[in-house]
Every structure is written in structure tokens, then in C-alpha cells.
């Protein structure tokens, strides 16, 4: 796959890294539903699973590969010949198959996990990437824990992968350790120093251990990466991965500051969020950017008053642009008179000035006692007032 200078390839790994999140396993049918929606949304690459992990994973990747109409379907494989062969078997049904193979490059992983020398790992990279390239034309190679790998060795590893035929090079922040400046700089250095770097697409893959996954992904793009790996709702190992909805909307809303575009239909983001949340039984935190229940809710009087006058006072994107039905002015103790009057109108009440003042005072008393004031509470409050002749 080639990418133009301003087009960002969105690589969704909800079904692989996302599913690795403790407790987030999905059934075969749920995976097919998620993959179908991702394809419809315009995601460029769907990482459908880790075929060697289990027969169930293999079957899911193979079926997603058969059914996906537009997106590239990738499977993950360790740098082990049997993994790569199994992955090749699963993705070969796809219109556009990709094998994604990875190996650790950092000293800590080489010493304690792999127990291999740097030279041995370089040989493994050459052999396994070449094997994958014999099976499919589209091969992604990842240097696991790239951000804790000395730059000289990282450049040698990337060079070995490119020479062996990798078409996408992913440099993950596996443990969510990098800062945005460091992450950007790593891409700048590798792209400057490695022969053939201009022939491949560089990719970001950020974990959220320090809450920097989305910022780091965008910093990677500033450093020349043109693919971003992410998941719906940011699910993934430990604190999760960069959230797809945050990346897509940051690039859409701040195109003035970051002149890149994606092919994702943002009006399907809320639907995707709800589907993944239901499939994994993972609730979406209320204040989650873009898709959280409160992302377009306003409670304070000042904010509600502003929103009633002009939506851009406190919203930088419309709820419709992410597929959410509408802004909600939540009635609570911070709400002001303007929002209360608006709510009464929406509920079908028109009160005179004195009655409105009275109802507002009662509402504030109630809101002090109750965490949530529902429409039914307001209706009961006004109906009581009318019944007692105080309207
Ligand atoms: O976080 C990571 O390094 C990964 C690789 C397998 C790409 O998920
Ligand atoms: Zn990961």
C-alpha cells in the first residue's frame, strides 16, 4: 500500500491488541460484526487477530478475510516460521492480505525475554520477513519496544526488515513510555538514516500507560509516520492503545494545525464505540473524549447559557459529526435559569415570570438533594406547583 503525503492510513487493532486487554474477549460473531463496521467506516487496515494463538482466532481471521470488502486484513505473527505460515494461511482469503510480524529490539527484551544477541535478532528479522514476503506482497514489520531501543541498533533492525521486503515499518511505544518529542524524533532519525526508508510507510503504535497515546501517535505523524495503529475506545493491553476516535477527530477538527486526512467516516464513531463496548462488556468512561456519555453534555449554568446562544461557545465539533444524536443540557445544581426555561419549553410548559421563578427555586432545592434530575422530576415539580394553584 502506498500513502500520499497527507493521507493517514488508519490501522485498527481492536480485534488483536484490543482483545488482548484482560477480560475483553469477543465471540466469533461479535468479531465479524466489529470487522464489518470497521470496513464500512473506511478503516484502511483491520488487524483481525493472532492466528497462531488458537483455532478460534485462526477461524475469525480467516472469516474476516473472506468477508471484508475494502480494507486490508492483517494477521499478527511472531518472528517464528510456524507463526508466519499459520498467519499466511488465515489471511490468504482476503482481497488484500497483510502479514504483520514483530520481534523485540530493546536491550531489556533481548536480555530477559528473548535471550538472544543483537546479531541473532537481525538474522531472525531477515529470515522471517523474507518468509512472509514469499507468502504475501504486503508485509508489516514491528520492532517491539522500539522506544526503549538505542537508535543505532533500531536503524540496523529497520534496515534488515526493509532489505528483506517489509513494506510497512511499525515503531511501537510498547510500554507507553515515550514523550511526544522523543517519539517524533525517533521517526525523523530512522527515516533519515536508514537506506530505503523512503520506499516504505512508517507506522505508529502507542500504548496509553502515561495517557500520551493519542498525542504520541500524532507526534509520530509529525516525524513522518503515515500509518496510525489504534483501537475503538482505546482498549488494549494494560492502559490500552491510542483511541481511534480521538485520532480521527483530532485530525478532522484540527486540520488547520495538522494537514492530514483519514478515510474514516466519523459519523459511525459512536456506533463503533457502542458495538465494541457491548461486545467486550467494557463500559466507556463517561468523560471519554469523543464517544463518552458526557462528551457533549453541559451542566453548568454558564456553559448551558452559552450553548443556548451558540453551540460553538463550548463545543469544538458537533455531536452529529461523531454520530451522537444531540448535545444534552443536563439538569443539575449547576444549571442556570436559561437552561431550565428551555427544558420546560421542551417538556411543553409555558410558565409566567413569577411561576418560572418559583419553579426554578424548587428545582434548585431538588438538585441540591438529588444527583440526577430527570425530566420526570421536573414534570412532577411543575405539575405539583400547577395543582397547588401556584402557576
Ligand atoms: O505493543 C506492541 O509492541 C505490539 C506489537 C505486537 C506491534 O502490540
Ligand atoms: Zn501493542
- CA proximity to 188, closest of 176, 174, 171: 171
pLDDT at 63: 98
CB 315 within 8 A of CB 327: yes
Ligand 1 site residues, Cβ closer than 6 angstroms: 17, 102, 142, 144, 170, 172, 174, 205, 207
Nearest CA to 138 out of 101, 175, 102, 99 is that of: 99
Ligand nearest to the CA of 142: 1
Please say whether the beta carbons of 214 and 243 come within 8 A. Answer: yes
Per-residue pLDDT 10s for the chain (391 aa) are 555 569 999 999 999 999 998 889 999 999 999 999 999 999 999 999 999 999 999 999 999 999 999 999 999 999 999 999 999 999 999 999 999 999 999 999 999 999 999 999 999 999 999 999 999 999 999 999 999 999 999 999 999 999 999 999 999 999 999 999 999 999 999 999 999 999 999 999 999 999 999 999 999 999 999 999 999 999 999 999 999 999 999 999 999 999 999 999 999 999 999 999 999 999 999 999 999 999 999 988 889 999 999 999 989 999 999 999 888 889 999 999 999 999 999 899 999 999 999 999 999 999 998 877 888 889 889 988 888 876 5
DSSP state string for 358-382:
HHHHHHHHHHHH-S---HHHHHHHH
Ligand nearest to the backbone CA of 102: 1
Is the full-model pTM beyond 0.95?
no
Which of 17, 145, 186 to mutate for ligand 1's pocket (most ligand atoms within 8 Å of CB)?
17
pLDDT tens for 276-331 read: 999 999 999 999 999 999 999 998 888 999 999 999 998 999 999 999 988 888 99
Q: Is 342:298 a contact under the CB 8 Å cutoff?
A: no
Amino acid at each position: 500500500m502506498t500513502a500520499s503525503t497527507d493521507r493517514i492510513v488508519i490501522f485498527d487493532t481492536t480485534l488483536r491488541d484490543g482483545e488482548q486487554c484482560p477480560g475483553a474477549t469477543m465471540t466469533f460473531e461479535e468479531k465479524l460484526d466489529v470487522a464489518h463496521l470497521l470496513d464500512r467506516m473506511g478503516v484502511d487496515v483491520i488487524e483481525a487477530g493472532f492466528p497462531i494463538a488458537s483455532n478460534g482466532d485462526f477461524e475469525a481471521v480467516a472469516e474476516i478475510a473472506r468477508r471484508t470488502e475494502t480494507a486490508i486484513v492483517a494477521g499478527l505473527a511472531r518472528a517464528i516460521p510456524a507463526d508466519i505460515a499459520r498467519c499466511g494461511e488465515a489471511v490468504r482469503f482476503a482481497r488484500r492480505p497483510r502479514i504483520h510480524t514483530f520481534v523485540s529490539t530493546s536491550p531489556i527484551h533481548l536480555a530477559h525475554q528473548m535471550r538472544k544477541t543483537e546479531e541473532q535478532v537481525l538474522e531472525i528479522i531477515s529470515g522471517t520477513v523474507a518468509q512472509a514476503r514469499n507468502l504475501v506482497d504486503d508485509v508489516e514489520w514491528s520492532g517491539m519496544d522500539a522506544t526503549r531501543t538505542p537508535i543505532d541498533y533500531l536503524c540496523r533492525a529497520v534496515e534488515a526488515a526493509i532489505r528483506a521486503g517489509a513494506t510497512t515499518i511499525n515503531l511501537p511505544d510498547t510500554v507507553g513510555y515515550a514523550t511526544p518529542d522523543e517519539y517524533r524524533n525517533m521517526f525523523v532519525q530512522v527515516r533519515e538514516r536508514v537506506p530505503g526508508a523512503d520506499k516504505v510507510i512508517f507506522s505508529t503504535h502507542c500504548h496509553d500507560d502515561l495517557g500520551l497515546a493519542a498525542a504520541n501517535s500524532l507526534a509520530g505523524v509529525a516525524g513522518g509516520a503515515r500509518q496510525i495503529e489504534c483501537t475503538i475506545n482505546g482498549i488494549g493491553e494494560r492502559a490500552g492503545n491510542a483511541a481511534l476516535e480521538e485520532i480521527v477527530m483530532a485530525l478532522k477538527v484540527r486540520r488547520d494545525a495538522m494537514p492530514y486526512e483519514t478515510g474514516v467516516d466519523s459519523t459511525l464513531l459512536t456506533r463503533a464505540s457502542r458495538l465494541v463496548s457491548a461486545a467486550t462488556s467494557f463500559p466507556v468512561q463517561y468523560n471519554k473524549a469523543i464517544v463518552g456519555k458526557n462528551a457533549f453534555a453541559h451542566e453548568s449554568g454558564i456553559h448551558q447559557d452559552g450553548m443556548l446562544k451558540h453551540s460553538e461557545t463550548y463545543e469544538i465539533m458537533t455531536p452529529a459529526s461523531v454520530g451522537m444524536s444531540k448535545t444534552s443540557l443536563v439538569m443539575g445544581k449547576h444549571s442556570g435559569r436559561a437552561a431550565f426555561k428551555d427544558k420546560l419549553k421542551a417538556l411543553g410548559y409555558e410558565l409566567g415570570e413569577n411561576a418560572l421563578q418559583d419553579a426554578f427555586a424548587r428545582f434548585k432545592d431538588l438538585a441540591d438533594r438529588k444527583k440526577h434530575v430527570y425530566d420526570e422530576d421536573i414534570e412532577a415539580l411543575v405539575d405539583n406547583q400547577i395543582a397547588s394553584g401556584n402557576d
